[in-house]
């Protein structure tokens, strides 16, 4: 049975979108990954699109979504380090990844956050 993972952030425009993408890349058919935000921006940050395109992933196929649009029943819910602004979503397992929001970082900083997300997603998938 597929593992269901939800990545949550406030705007659902950067970190949670990249985490969803990496879960799909690294997990393949064994994973159903999605992401959502408590106050979604309604768009994917163009820099997230750019930096995922460097790895061959088309983030323009994603949409910035509200948690209200997501149906529950998750094996894991991961918040992206947004502190108490991240809502509680029921799941078998919860993690908070204290990651800086890359939207105001320079290119090297953005790529560093992207690579950290990739690494953490791989670790998460291996442990589910």
How many other CB atoms sit within 10 Å of the CB of residue 112? 14
82, 99, 113, 117: the active-site residue: 82
From 9, 44, 59, 121, active-site residue: 9
Reply yes or no on whether 34 is catalytic.
no
Helix extents (H) in 42-106: 46-53
How does DSSP assign 15-26, residue by residue? HHHHHHHHHHHH
Catalytic status, residue 86: yes
Q: Which residues are catalytic?
A: 9, 82, 86
């Amino acid at each position: 049975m597929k593992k269901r993972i939800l990545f949550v952030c406030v705007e659902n425009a950067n970190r949670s979108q990249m985490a969803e993408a990496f879960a799909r890349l690294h997990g393949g058919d064994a994973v159903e990954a999605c992401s959502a935000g408590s106050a979604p921006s309604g768009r994917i940050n163009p820099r997230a699109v750019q930096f995922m395109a460097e790895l061959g992933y088309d983030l323009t196929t994603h949409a910035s979504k509200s948690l209200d649009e997501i149906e529950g029943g998750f094996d894991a819910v991961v918040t992206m380090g947004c502190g108490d602004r991240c809502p509680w979503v029921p799941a078998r397992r919860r993690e908070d990844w204290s990651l800086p929001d890359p939207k105001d970082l320079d290119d090297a900083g953005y790529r560093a956050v992207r690579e950290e997300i990739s690494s953490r997603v791989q670790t998460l998938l291996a442990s589910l």
